[in-house]
Structure 1
Amino acid sequence: MSRGYFADMSELKKHGGKISMANKTLIPAMVAVKFPALEANFSDGRSLKLPISSEQNDINAGKKAIPCASLLCLSFRASSEAMIQSWSVPFLDAFSASKNLQFYEVSLIDSWFLSLGPIKRLLLRTMRKSNADARDHALQRQVVYSFGDHYYFRKELKILNLLTGYIFLLDKYGRIRWQGCGMTTEEELSSLLSCTSQLLEE
């Protein structure tokens, strides 16, 4: 879990961020594991806890409608931005009219310096304009930032390489029902869209 940058880069050169292939079908609910709780902030400073699920018992759940499914795209470094986009753009296009689905792009920032109160607020302020989404659709791209040490969070999700992007499809109970990583392929994208449709019908 404490590998260095050069080990991640060496691995990235070998497979381009495709650490493993995405699921082809939904992970059965009986064996699906919960997505670990994650504190995050919008660029305007508002905070939330992910995932948004029906089992959440805090104020966060009271304010937000519980989605039938959520797609969370995790990024630890700027190098994974293109990977995340390869999933998010077609996903948003396919489900633009869905009101029972939520989509989050989560940037995880481990730097202790950037996590300091004043620096964190300044960083969020600079991100506000760049993240404006002019889409007039039911499903919106929501960009959030999580600051601090994510060691145990990564350990639960078995995330080793910080240079690639990770995609998780959750059901309304916050369970991981599908996952992928790296750049999407046509087959993987088809699988994601199909599995999302199934969750929306459950």
Structure 2
Amino acid sequence: MAGISAEVVEARFPLLSGHTLEGRKVILPKDLKGMVALIAVAVQRGAQSMIDSWRTPFEEEFAGDPKIAFYEVPVIEKENELFLGGVINAGMREGIDPAKYGSIITVFENTKRIRKVLGMDDPSRAYLYLLDQEGTVRWRVSGFADRGGIEEIITVTRRLAGSGGAARNL
């Protein structure tokens, strides 16, 4: 598990516009105002198992709390949107529980720019950002979850939310 990056923590999460697998437009972090959200960002498909290693325990811990959310954000090169956007989203929907469609936000953007802005040094890794109710990054990690990381994210999330509870969709 990678350490926390001082350059990204305490910074406002950048505006990212995308669509959920349900087809709804979402602007992060604007559309999350008032919620504590764990955002998993990846630019390569191979990072999915890393995302799942965080998502499952996070959602189990906070099930039912409408003030806490988990979102998965695959970032795909902007040039692929026009001709392949629909095919890419259709492919992502296959094999995914439809109940999670609202929490997966596909963003077509310049991946190098996103990686730079978010401090994503290794494109093969998933990066997770815990946002407070105002969209400020309060915690950051990359790679696979481990016991210490899960305990830490749960503690920080509870402190930020002032409760206990679960991921909800936009």
Give the conservation status (yes or no) of the 8 Å contact 2:20–2:102: no
Alignment of 1:120-139 (within 5 A): 120-134=85-99
On the 8 A contact 2:130/2:139 being kept in 1, the answer is yes
Distance 1:99 1:173 in 2: 16
Residue 111 of structure 1, CA deviation: 6.2
Partner of 1:102: 69
Q: Deviations over 1:92-123 (max 9, x none)?
A: 000002111121001111262x322x421232
How far residue 134 of structure 1 moved from its aligned partner, in angstroms, is 4.2
Is the partner of 1:147 in helix, strand or coil? strand
Q: Give the gaps of 5 or more residues in structure 2.
A: 164-170
Alignment counterpart, residue 51 of structure 1, candidates 14, 23, 29? 29
143, 162, 165: which one pairs with 1:201?
Answer: 162
Q: Please state whether the residue corresponding to 1:130 is helix, strand or coil.
A: coil
- State the Cα distance separating 1:153 from its structure 2 match: 2.4
> Aligned-residue CA RMSD in angstroms?
2.5
**Number of aligned residues:** 161
What SS does the aligned partner of 1:127 have?
helix
Render the CA deviation track for 1:38-69: whole Å, top value 9, x for unaligned: 111112332111113xxxxxxxx4xxx73330
Which stretch shows the higher mean deviation, 95-104 or 153-162? 153-162
Shift in Å, 1:181: 0.7
Q: Is the 8 A contact 1:110 1:148 kept in 2?
A: yes
Amino acid at match of 1:123: I
**Residues 77/35 of structure 1: CA separation in 2 closer, same or farther (3 Å cut):** same
Structure having the higher Rg: 1
Query: Which letter maps to 2:11?
Result: V
| 1:115 corresponds to 2:97 | no
Q: Secondary structure at the match of 1:107?
A: strand
Q: CA 1:174–1:110 in structure 2 vs 1: closer, same or farther (change >3 Å)?
A: same
Q: SS of the residue aligned with 2:53?
A: helix
Paired with 2:102 and 2:24, the residues of 1 have a C-alpha distance of 16
1: CA distance, partners of 2:97 / 2:122: 29
2:17 alignment partner in structure 1 = 39
TM-score by length of 1: 0.71
* Secondary structure of 1:172 counterpart: coil
Shift of 1:152: 2.5
Alignment of 1:7-156 (within 5 A): 18=1, 20-22=2-4, 32-52=10-30, 61=31, 66-110=33-77, 112=79, 114-116=80-82, 118-134=83-99, 142-156=103-117
Name the amino acid aligned to 2:84. I
